[in-house]
Amino acid sequence: MVNKQDEMQLVNVLNSEQLISLAEACSAANMENIYRVIREQHDHYLNFSNCPVCLSQAEFEPRISNHTFITHCTDPECGVSYKLISNGQNKEFSLQAAGDWVKGGRWNLNFQI
């Protein structure tokens, strides 16, 4: 996706066919630098595709309008959710385990970025 400042933002993971097609198109157009930027963003995106606690598959939902996201672990025994939220001026990261995190010794943290 291209925004008003002509910056790219990857909003979903690409499959291997799409990556190959993109690499070929960028190479043919002599735009390998564009491919490198997209591939770097793609690799960062992959970091969010697994839960940071149990490493199970996670559902990543980017919020393009304010450059934030929400992610949920798909393993019901883990149930961790983490997100980056914005109030317009400040951003805050939040991570919370499902259920009673105090009794279970689970995680619950928030901090401003």
Model pTM score = 0.59
Which residue ranges make up each domain of the chain? 1-47, 53-113
Q: Tens of pLDDT along 39-85? A: 888 888 787 788 888 899 998 888 877 788 888 999 988 888 888 88
Q: Where are the beta strands (DSSP E) in the chain?
A: 58-63, 68-73, 81-86, 91-96, 108-112
Q: Give strand pairing partners of 112.
A: 92
Looking at every residue in the chain, the average pLDDT score rounds to 79
End-to-end CA distance of the chain: 25
Query: What confidence score (pLDDT) does residue 3 get?
Result: 46
CB neighbours of residue 50 within 10 Å: 16
